[in-house]
Structure 1
Amino acid sequence: MKLDLALIGGKVVTPFREVKNGGVTITENKIYEVGQVSNIDISDCKNVIDVSGKIVAPGFVDLLVHGGGGYGFSDDVEKHIDVISNYFIKHGSTTMLASLHAKPWQKLLDDLSSVAKYIKDNPDSNIKGIHMEGPYLNKALKGAMNEDYLLEPAVDTFTEMYEAADGFLKMMTIAPELPNAMDVIREASFRGVVCSLGHSKATYEQIDLAIDNGATHVTHIFNAMDPLHHRHPSLLAAALLRDELKIELIADNFHVHPATMELLMKIKSHKGIVLITDSIRAGGMHDNSETQFSDQKVYYKDQKATLADGTLAGSTLTLNRAIKNIVENTGTKLTDAIRMASLNGSKVIGASRGILASGKVADIVVMNKDYEVELTVIGGKIRYNKSND
Structure 2
Amino acid sequence: MKTAYKAKKIFAENEVFNNAFLIVEDGKIVSIEKKYDGEYIDYSDKYIAPGLVDTHVHGYHNVDITDGEPGTLNIMSKGVLQMGVTSFLPTTLTSSYETLNNAVKVIGEEYKQVEGAKVQGIFMEGPFFTEEHKGAQNPAYMSDPSIEKLRHWQELSGGLIKKIAIAPERKGTVEFIKEAKKMGVYVALAHSDAGFDTAMDAVNAGANIFIHLYNGMRGLHHREPGMVGAALYSDAYAELICDGHHVHPAAAGIAMKTKGHDNILLITDCMMAGGMGEGKSKLGEFDVIVKDGQARLKNGSLAGSILDLIDGVKNVYDWNIADKKQAIDMASKNAAASVGIDDRCGILKDGRDADFIVLNEDLSLVETYLDGKSVYKA
- Relative to the length of structure 2, the TM-score reads 0.95
- Asked whether the equivalents of residues 204 and 233 of structure 1 are also in contact (C-alpha less than 8 Å), the reply is yes
- Equivalent in the alignment of 1:375: 367
CA contact (8 A) 1:172 1:196 kept: yes
List gaps (5 residues or longer) in structure 2.
none
- Give the conservation status (yes or no) of the 8 Å contact 1:307–1:313: yes
Separation in 1, partners of 2:44, 2:23: 15
1:220 & 1:164 partners in 2: Cα distance? 27
**1:20 aligned partner:** 18
Percentage identity across aligned positions? 33
Contact 2:169 2:198 in 1 (8 A): yes
CA distance in 1, matches of 2:212, 2:7: 36
Shift of 1:122: 3.9
User: Are the aligned partners of 1:154 and 1:183 in contact in 2 as well (CA < 8 Å)?
Assistant: no
State the partner residue of 2:186.
194
Aligned to 1:42: 38
Question: Post-superposition shift, 1:208?
Answer: 2.7
| Number of residues of Structure 1 aligned to a counterpart in Structure 2 | 376
Residue in 1 aligned with 2:212?
A: 220
**Aligned mate of 1:313, from 294, 303, 328:** 303
For the pair 1:65 / 2:73, whether they are aligned, the reply is no
SS in 1 for 2:78: helix
Distance 1:133 1:152 in 2: 14
Q: 1:138 aligns with which of 107, 130, 142?
A: 130
TM-score between the two structures when normalised by the length of structure 1: 0.92
Q: Does the CA-based 8 Å contact 1:6-1:24 persist in structure 2?
A: yes
Whether the 8 Å contact between 1:323 and 1:337 is mirrored in structure 2 is yes
* Range with bigger deviation, 211-220 or 314-323: 211-220
- 5 Å-filtered alignment, 1:74-93, equals 74-93=66-85
Backbone CA RMSD of aligned residues: 1.7
Q: Of 246, 264, 274, which aligns to 2:237?
A: 246
Q: How does 1:1-389 map to 2 (within 5 A)?
A: 2-3=1-2, 5-14=3-12, 16-36=14-34, 39-43=35-39, 48-122=40-114, 125-243=117-235, 245-287=236-278, 289-351=279-341, 352=343, 353-386=345-378
Once the two structures are superposed, residues 335-383 of structure 1 have per-residue CA deviations (whole angstroms, 9 ceiling, x without a partner) of: 1100101100111222222222322332111012343322212223322
The runs of 5 or more residues in structure 1 that have no matched partner are none
User: 1:258-281 deviations in whole A, cap 9, x for unaligned?
Assistant: 111121221111111001000001
Q: Secondary structure at the match of 1:74?
A: helix
| Distance in 2 of aligned mates of 1:132 and 1:279 | 14
What is the rounded CA distance, in whole Å, between the counterparts of 1:120 and 1:217 in structure 2? 27
**Deviation of residue 209 (structure 1)?**
2.1
Secondary structure of the corresponding residue to residue 358 of structure 2: strand
Contact 2:81/2:116, CA 8 A, preserved across alignment = no
The one-letter code sitting in structure 1 at the alignment partner of 2:269 is D
Residue type at the aligned position of 1:258: P
